[in-house]
């Protein structure tokens, strides 16, 4: 139990407080999750305003309310703040006893490769600490020997959920935690209250401009992780480390943000932790780090995954972890859900599911797939582009596939309330601009289950069918409804000749 008056000392932007209360249950942002004795944070949202649900939260037993409106008459204490969304993280951290202060925290951000890099780092830390490392990614949270799903779609969990995960990690004796940090999560303050020790940047490319508005705003959201590093409470003997991709043109921008040490990694640049002697074999990808004797092996395809491994190596070496543990940790990662994940139903061609949903990620995935093609094999790519999201990606992704794939199937990917036909028309025009010919080198198949089926039907022995954009996600949005959908399950069904039919008939919304 704690007092409201104690908790709000950690919250910036407090305008007014009416009363005090004992807090005996969690901080929540959803009125339906309020428990007696808890705190409800009422914040304005894109579709609804949490302030409208304050009466229900009180009926459910909320001990106090935090919000932005000037409210004078409530039956429970009220805290008015400048920004409720920003306040939620600080409040949840205080309510959970500031768990990040009791572990070494590594934050990973970037456009592509966040989940893979986070998984590599976590595996290395598991080897180095004897299993006392946790992970909060957009796929799941790993707490000791328990794995907890973090939701249908890929984004950083809400602030109360993240702080609860960290508190559980501290309770079971974990000493380190890797937290994958998306631009949305950073911009919306969901990571507030986390004391970071190591900040890692994978890369920065075209993504989420529908939300951030400009690339500069998007970059500033990512930079919040490195600003958190500078402001975070110091822990005994632990320096603040910044790990940057020297191949990314935005590296100087992030290098200017203060840290005790800036570590760089690279595939191309002649500085920092640079890979050399990269070889691809059926047994894995092998490489060395320039100036170091050890050889590292990873079991994920593609040069871009070597870059992700270099980021993990840099972070681990910055923490003083021995090379043997780094080698063991990297080699232990055999696959990551929805990341170049092979689907084997005994078919005579290769089938892969990958999360690539940005132009850069799609290019990397298709190049990695081409490296796997036997002589005479064809690369067949199936993907779409999300509605109500960065529209420029549609053209860029279609252009990438027209250049790198032998055949492209354009299909649905969370069209939401936009016209799927119009999305596909934009993509078709972009593919044609690169010389692709509809009906010969690309087709439009609005229904994703049918699209995967068509791709599998045309595949010959030695070909590769790669489904991009959804990865491990468990739903797809048509209109405002999330329908159950898993690309891996859908690709298995397509291989077996039975297209998955859990989606509505692809409508023109």
Across all residues in the chain, what is the average pLDDT?
Answer: 93
Residues forming beta bridges with residue 409, ordered by sequence position: 382, 443
Burial of 154 (0-12, 13-18, 19+ CB in 10 A): buried
Is residue 333 within 8 A of residue 298, CB to CB? The reply is yes
Q: What is the CATH number of domain 341-495?
A: 3.90.190.20
Give span(s): CATH 3.40.1390.10, the chain. Answer: 2-95
pLDDT at residue 60 above 50?
yes
pLDDT at residue 270 above 80?
no
Give span(s): CATH 3.90.190.20, the chain. Answer: 341-495
Residue 148 is predicted with a pLDDT of 86
pLDDT single digits (tens) 375-424:
999 999 999 999 988 888 999 999 999 999 999 999 999 999 999 999 99
pLDDT single digits (tens) 100-117:
999 999 999 999 899 999
Is residue 410 within 8 A of residue 443, CB to CB? The reply is yes
Residue 507 is predicted with a pLDDT of 41
Residue 206 is predicted with a pLDDT of 64
Burial of 269 (0-12, 13-18, 19+ CB in 10 A): middle
| Homologous superfamily, domain 99-332 | Mur-like, catalytic domain (3.40.1190.10)
Q: What is the CATH number of domain 2-95?
A: 3.40.1390.10
Query: Where residue 157 falls among pLDDT bands split at 50, 70, 90?
Result: confident
Q: State the angle between helix axes of 114-129 and 303-318 in degrees (0 to 180), rounded to the nearest 10.
A: 40
pLDDT at residue 509 above 50?
no
pLDDT single digits (tens) 208-236:
555 667 889 989 999 999 999 999 999 99
Dihedral of the CA atoms 211, 213, 214, 217 (nearest 10)? -60
Give span(s): CATH 3.40.1190.10, the chain. Answer: 99-332
Q: What is the mean pLDDT of residues 199-206?
A: 90
């Amino acid at each position: 139990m704690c007092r409201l008056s104690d908790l709000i000392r950690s919250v910036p932007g407090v305008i007014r407080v009416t009363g005090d209360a004992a807090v005996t249950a969690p901080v929540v942002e959803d009125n339906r999750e309020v428990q007696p004795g808890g705190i409800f944070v009422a914040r304005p949202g894109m579709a609804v305003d949490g302030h409208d649900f304050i009466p229900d939260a009180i009926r459910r037993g909320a001990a106090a309310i935090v919000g932005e409106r000037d409210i004078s008459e409530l039956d429970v204490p009220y805290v008015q703040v400048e920004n409720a969304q920003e306040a939620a993280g600080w409040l949840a951290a205080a309510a959970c006893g500031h768990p990040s202060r009791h572990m070494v925290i590594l934050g990973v951000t970037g456009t592509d490769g966040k989940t893979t890099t986070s998984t590599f780092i976590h595996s290395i830390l598991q080897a180095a600490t004897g299993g006392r490392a946790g992970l909060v990614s957009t796929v799941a949270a790993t707490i000791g020997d328990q794995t907890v799903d973090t939701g249908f779609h890929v984004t950083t969990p809400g602030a109360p959920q993240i702080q609860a995960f960290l508190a559980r990690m501290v309770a079971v004796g974990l000493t380190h935690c890797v937290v994958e940090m998306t631009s949305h999560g950073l911009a919306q303050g969901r990571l507030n209250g986390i004391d970071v020790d190591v900040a890692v940047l994978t890369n920065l490319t075209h993504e989420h401009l529908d939300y951030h508005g400009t690339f500069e705003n998007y970059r500033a959201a990512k930079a919040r992780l490195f600003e958190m590093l500078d402001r975070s409470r110091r822990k005994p003997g632990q320096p603040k480390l910044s790990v940057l991709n020297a191949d990314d043109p935005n590296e100087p921008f992030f290098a200017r943000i203060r840290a005790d040490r800036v570590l760089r990694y690279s595939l191309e640049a002649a500085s920092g932790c640079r890979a050399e002697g990269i070889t691809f074999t059926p047994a894995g990808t092998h490489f060395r780090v320039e100036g170091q004797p050890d050889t590292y092996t990873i079991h994920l395809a593609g040069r871009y995954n070597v870059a992700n491994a270099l980021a993990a190596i840099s972070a681990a070496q910055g923490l003083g972890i021995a090379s043997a543990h780094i080698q063991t940790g990297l080699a232990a990662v055999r696959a990551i859900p929805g990341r170049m994940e092979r689907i084997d139903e005994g078919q005579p061609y290769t089938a892969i599911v990958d999360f690539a949903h940005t132009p850069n990620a799609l290019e990397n995935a298709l190049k990695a797939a081409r490296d796997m093609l036997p002589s005479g094999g064809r690369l067949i790519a199936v993907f779409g582009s999300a509605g109500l999201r960065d529209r420029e990606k549609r053209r860029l992704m279609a252009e990438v596939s027209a250049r790198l794939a032998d055949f492209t199937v354009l299909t649905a990917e969370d069209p939401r309330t936009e016209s799927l036909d119009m999305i596909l028309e934009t993509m078709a025009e972009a593919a044609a601009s690169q010389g692709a010919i509809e009906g010969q080198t690309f087709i439009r198949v609005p229904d994703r289950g049918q699209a995967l089926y068509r791709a599998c039907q045309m595949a010959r022995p030695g070909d590769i069918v790669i489904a991009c954009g959804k990865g491990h996600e468990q739903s797809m949005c048509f209109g405002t409804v999330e329908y159950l959908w898993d690309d891996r399950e859908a690709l298995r069904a397509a291989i077996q000749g039975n297209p998955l039919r859990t989606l509505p008939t692809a409508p023109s919304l």
